[in-house]
Chain A
């Protein structure tokens, strides 16, 4: 870790490009004329594509088409890729006049690669540049440490799919369409070791025994349990699951009765049978 960090610091200090002296002149010369509020035939115009390159804030914010610069990734930054297109291409930037020279392109590329730092420069909008993050709301979950490699190793041996509920999420979901097979309760063991992480189980077309239900009922963070087209024992144990919001028993049968009233507190309950 330390070595990587050191390398990173070295790398960026060696190759870092000073924005104000190296990059800004290129933008001023080739880009800013259109990408700031300007006049055309005496009429005021907005910056093209909603992208303002006259401030650090504007560059970081991007335009109508999304990000202009993704720090560290020149190949994903239209500011660089569109300028680097073949000059005959319809989408080349700038669309008129001289295209960027090889040296200028390299400067842009290295600046983005090294983290797209603006230094002290802010431009016409004095706000601090804000790089966009995914801003859509998500369910509040407590932060858990990353899943240990050993867990992944254990999960790989299971007959069903285990995956994080989303990219980089420490929480898990489990899925198996089992073609009528019997679920071996020992296959649930690796899950019970991470019982604060399993949010969702989708089991279809499986036979479960008491042992399996017992193991599932220890998965304390479980929110959604789909046991459809399954052969099930008594489900009494499951009432322990305090976070459960949804229980779906569609087209399954159970050795004992499952009353809807027992599950009235759930957001969603689908009874046994068809």
Chain B
């Protein structure tokens, strides 16, 4: 069997998978670099882009951002390291992250109502509880819908290393679906000219294709035909655009690549930075496998450094590039893990009542801790923050109207963060 794919097949894939047909959102009608543009942000945004790091499986709060060394029973065997900013403490694996503490705003008062993975993940991403009758869009799709693209050649929202669950566009149009990149090292699939065809020959083919298509397009002036034409055109445009380079990690220097961590999450964070640099508004990178029901401390030794290398390096990298003021890095997870260590398996189980999250940059206060839990890390005793509030806070920073009501095709009212209120103390 040949590994070559047919021209038609390839073009479909380029337009379909590479661009998620998201490229049809070129409401401007063309791909000019410039021109006058309206702005849908209701206020001057603090964060022009967001890099959203999602810890899938439920990140343990006690062992990362909310250690309790005074309470040995809860703390377990891990040491605590002090952040560079006084009062900030981290689990012993977060060495690089602790060094960035002056940029971090820890949220030690997250609380959710969902204690199962799928439901928790869904709630965190959409601000709505799962229902049988409708699928809600995730925050990245809201951003795409409300603000559109910042760079007309790249999608507004990208998902790197996504699992099988959210984020999705929900009831929004296809063009708001986050573009998926499943392997950051491979970049954007099907976006290069097949190597066995010369450029001149390729251009001829495309010209011929355009001729064939034009008569069809004239006869069938429907939205679907227009959508497809636009997505093909945009795919071709992106192929020859320098923005395609954004997906190519080989352009980065080896030392920096290594610092992010030679793993999918680390490289994913580096890719997210490259995309944001080129004008992508919302890049989510997922790190799975936090579900430590057994051997919590053994498994942390592998997982936590992956997070630490990527997060610590990402913050430092953004700062050095002068991008941190405009770029908000968010760390979120579906729930925390039980402060009590189960003795049988030395694991921690699901704990929705209290957990931690983090934001950095995008106008957020650095060296700041928001909210706290009691001495057992079990109850939020100050400034509780729900997933809805976190989403409202991110939406606020990006200049979205958190009170705006929009209607799904089934005529139901929705808001970007549901009932969430932006937490303005974080800015």
Q: How far is the CB of B16 from chain A (nearest CB, A)?
A: 25
Contact B36 A132 (CB under 8 A): no
Which residues of B have CB within 8 Å of A250? Answer: 320-322
Segment at the interface with A among B79-87, B306-314, B406-414: B406-414
Q: How far is the CB of A107 from chain B (nearest CB, A)?
A: 20
Instruction: Pick from B241, B322, B407: contact of A81, CB below 8 A.
Output: B407
| B325 part of interface (Cβ distance < 8 Å) | yes
Segment at the interface with B among A9-17, A19-27, A134-142, A213-221: A134-142
Contact A268 B322 (CB under 8 A): yes
Contact B45 A166 (CB under 8 A): yes
Contact A177 B243 (CB under 8 A): yes
| B142 part of interface (Cβ distance < 8 Å) | no
Contact B278 A177 (CB under 8 A): yes
Which residues of B have CB within 8 Å of A228? Answer: 321-322
Nearest residue in A to B412 (C-beta to C-beta)?
A91
- For the complex, give the distance between the alpha carbons of A164 and B399 in Å: 13
| Chain B proximity mask over A172-215: 1 for CB below 8 Å, otherwise 0 | 00011111100000000000000000000000110000000000
Instruction: Pick from B279, B321, B403: contact of A67, CB below 8 A.
Output: B403
| B5 part of interface (Cβ distance < 8 Å) | no
Nearest residue in B to A200 (C-beta to C-beta)?
B44
- For the complex, give the distance between the alpha carbons of A164 and B146 in Å: 15
| B120 part of interface (Cβ distance < 8 Å) | no
Instruction: Pick from B43, B322, B405, B412: contact of A226, CB below 8 A.
Output: B322
Contact A159 B325 (CB under 8 A): no
| A41 part of interface (Cβ distance < 8 Å) | no
Q: Which of A112-157 contact B (CB under 8 A)?
A: 132, 134, 136-139, 152, 155-156
21 contacts between A and B (CB under 8 A): A65-B415, A65-B419, A66-B403, A67-B403, A75-B407, A85-B411, A90-B133, A136-B396, A137-B424, A138-B44, A152-B36, A160-B33, A163-B37, A163-B39, A165-B44, A166-B45, A176-B34, A246-B322, A246-B325, A250-B322, A270-B320
| B150 part of interface (Cβ distance < 8 Å) | yes
Q: How far is the CB of B366 from chain A (nearest CB, A)?
A: 13
| B183 part of interface (Cβ distance < 8 Å) | no
Contact A176 B33 (CB under 8 A): yes
- For the complex, give the distance between the alpha carbons of A270 and B318 in Å: 11
Contact A66 B415 (CB under 8 A): yes
Helix, strand, loop or mixed for chain A's interface? Answer: loop
Which residues of B have CB within 8 Å of A158? Answer: 34-35
Given contact pairs A81-B407, A82-B413, A246-B322, a sample of 12 additional A-B residue pairs in the complex whose CB atoms are under 8 Å apart: A65-B415, A66-B403, A81-B411, A90-B133, A134-B401, A136-B43, A166-B39, A166-B44, A166-B399, A176-B33, A250-B320, A270-B322
Contact B39 A160 (CB under 8 A): no
- For the complex, give the distance between the alpha carbons of A46 and B396 in Å: 29
- For the complex, give the distance between the alpha carbons of A158 and B34 in Å: 6
Q: How far is the CB of A67 from chain B (nearest CB, A)?
A: 6
Which residues of B have CB within 8 Å of A166? Answer: 39, 41-45, 399
| A167 part of interface (Cβ distance < 8 Å) | yes
Nearest residue in B to A205 (C-beta to C-beta)?
B242
Which residues of B have CB within 8 Å of A180? Answer: 242
Contact A156 B35 (CB under 8 A): yes
Which residues of A have CB within 8 Å of B35? Answer: 155-156, 158, 161-162
Nearest residue in A to B153 (C-beta to C-beta)?
A177
Which residues of A have CB within 8 Å of B418? Answer: 65
Contact A163 B38 (CB under 8 A): yes
Nearest residue in B to A155 (C-beta to C-beta)?
B36
Q: Kindly list the 4 A-B residue pairs having the minimum CB-CB distance in the complex, ordered from nearest.
A: A270-B322, A248-B322, A163-B37, A160-B34
| B151 part of interface (Cβ distance < 8 Å) | yes
Nearest residue in B to A178 (C-beta to C-beta)?
B33
Known: A90-B133, A270-B322. A162 touches B39 (CB 8 A): no
Nearest residue in A to B410 (C-beta to C-beta)?
A89
Contact B403 A76 (CB under 8 A): no
Nearest residue in B to A91 (C-beta to C-beta)?
B412
| B58 part of interface (Cβ distance < 8 Å) | no
Instruction: Pick from B42, B279, B325, B419: contact of A64, CB below 8 A.
Output: B419
| A78 part of interface (Cβ distance < 8 Å) | yes
| A169 part of interface (Cβ distance < 8 Å) | yes
| B383 part of interface (Cβ distance < 8 Å) | no
Q: Which of A70-129 contact B (CB under 8 A)?
A: 70, 75-76, 78, 81-82, 85, 90-91
| B91 part of interface (Cβ distance < 8 Å) | no
- For the complex, give the distance between the alpha carbons of A175 and B39 in Å: 13
Which residues of A have CB within 8 Å of B178? Answer: none
Q: How far is the CB of B119 from chain A (nearest CB, A)?
A: 19
| Chain A proximity mask over B113-148: 1 for CB below 8 Å, otherwise 0 | 000000000000000000001000000000000000
Q: How far is the CB of A46 from chain B (nearest CB, A)?
A: 15
- For the complex, give the distance between the alpha carbons of A162 and B180 in Å: 29
Q: Which of B37-74 contact A (CB under 8 A)?
A: 37-45
- For the complex, give the distance between the alpha carbons of A75 and B411 in Å: 9
| Chain A proximity mask over B89-130: 1 for CB below 8 Å, otherwise 0 | 000000000000000000000000000000000000000000
Nearest residue in A to B40 (C-beta to C-beta)?
A167
| B261 part of interface (Cβ distance < 8 Å) | no
Instruction: Pick from B43, B321, B419: contact of A270, CB below 8 A.
Output: B321
- For the complex, give the distance between the alpha carbons of A162 and B37 in Å: 6
| B422 part of interface (Cβ distance < 8 Å) | yes
- For the complex, give the distance between the alpha carbons of A207 and B36 in Å: 22
Nearest residue in A to B401 (C-beta to C-beta)?
A134
Instruction: Pick from B151, B321, B403: contact of A134, CB below 8 A.
Output: B403
Known: A70-B405, A85-B411, A177-B151. A163 touches B36 (CB 8 A): yes
Known: A136-B424, A159-B34. A165 touches B39 (CB 8 A): yes
Contact B403 A78 (CB under 8 A): no
Contact B242 A167 (CB under 8 A): no
Contact B36 A162 (CB under 8 A): yes
Contact A134 B325 (CB under 8 A): no
- For the complex, give the distance between the alpha carbons of A75 and B412 in Å: 11
- For the complex, give the distance between the alpha carbons of A163 and B43 in Å: 13
Nearest residue in B to A76 (C-beta to C-beta)?
B405
Q: Which of A217-274 contact B (CB under 8 A)?
A: 226, 228, 246, 248, 250-251, 268, 270
Which residues of A have CB within 8 Å of B44? Answer: 138-139, 165-166, 169, 171
- For the complex, give the distance between the alpha carbons of A52 and B405 in Å: 19
Which residues of A have CB within 8 Å of B38? Answer: 163-164, 167
Nearest residue in B to A164 (C-beta to C-beta)?
B39
Known: A65-B413, A205-B242. A167 touches B41 (CB 8 A): yes
